[in-house]
Amino acid sequence: MRQMAFGVKKWFMLQMWRVQQIAAILSLAMLAITDALLIYDKVSWRSGIFETPYIGATVLLVIIGLLIWGTSIIWDTRLRMWREQMSVLVERNPYAKEKMTAKELVHYRLIWLPMLKMIEEADPKTKEYREKVEAWMGYVIRDDPSLAKEVEDLMGYVNGAPLKHDRLRNGDG
């Protein structure tokens, strides 16, 4: 039951991510269109290019779009707000601290743990470190069933099997 609930949760999170990818751009576009149409209604002098609503509102839309674009350039180059945003993203991301990604787990399993086992023959203190890393990896895998599947999929890929998304694309399910 928990496995099914996790699959549903992941599906909803995927849909949320898809919507978020276009939400900012669509919000800005709708804001610019709405503002252009509202401002055009307030323009009492409608001569020249502002004479017809199609051209006048379009010109206002372009002006508002350029203002938004100019503000975004200043935001990026002068204010550098994205640096603080990236710091917050790392701080709030559980994978930046205590959790590991599937790729990290496979990397540790294939490279670091065997290397530590070889080293602990010469330095017994290394055994304690290796056991801590193995315990941490075990906890992370037990805590996240989806991650366990991804690790299994990657380990299969390392051994020559296709990745899950490749199997789905080819219809092998």
Tens-digit pLDDT profile for residues 123-167: 989 999 999 999 999 999 998 888 898 899 999 988 888 876 655
DSSP secondary-structure letter at 110?
I
Residues 13, 72 within the same domain: yes
Give the three-state DSSP class for 75: helix
pLDDT for the residue numbered 166: 57
Residues 77, 99 within the same domain: no
Q: Which of 87, 106, 134 is the last residue of a domain?
A: 87
Q: Domain count of the chain?
A: 2
Residues 142, 108 within the same domain: yes
DSSP secondary-structure letter at 96?
G
Helix (H) or strand (E) holding 111: none
Residues 120, 140 within the same domain: yes
CA dihedral sign, ordered 86, 12, 142, 173: negative
Q: How far is it, in rounded angstroms, from Cα 108 to Cα 163?
A: 19
Domain boundaries, position 68: 2-87
Contacts of 103 (CB under 8 A, 6+ apart): 154
Residues 32, 68 within the same domain: yes
Residues 102, 41 within the same domain: no
Residues 6, 81 within the same domain: yes
Q: Which of 87, 116, 143 is the last residue of a domain?
A: 87
pLDDT in tens, 157-167: 888 888 766 55
Q: How far is it, in rounded angstroms, from Cα 23 to Cα 16?
A: 10
pTM over 0.75: no
pLDDT in tens, 76-108: 788 877 777 777 777 777 767 778 888 999 999
Residues 6, 80 within the same domain: yes
DSSP secondary-structure letter at 48?
G
Tallying the residues shown for the chain, one arrives at 173
Residues 82, 102 within the same domain: no
Residues 28, 77 within the same domain: yes
Residues 55, 77 within the same domain: yes
Q: Is 39 exposed, middle or buried (0-12, 13-18, 19+ CB in 10 A)?
A: middle
Q: Which of 68, 87, 106 is the last residue of a domain?
A: 87
pLDDT in tens, 72-81: 888 878 887 7
Tokens found for residue 49: 């290019």
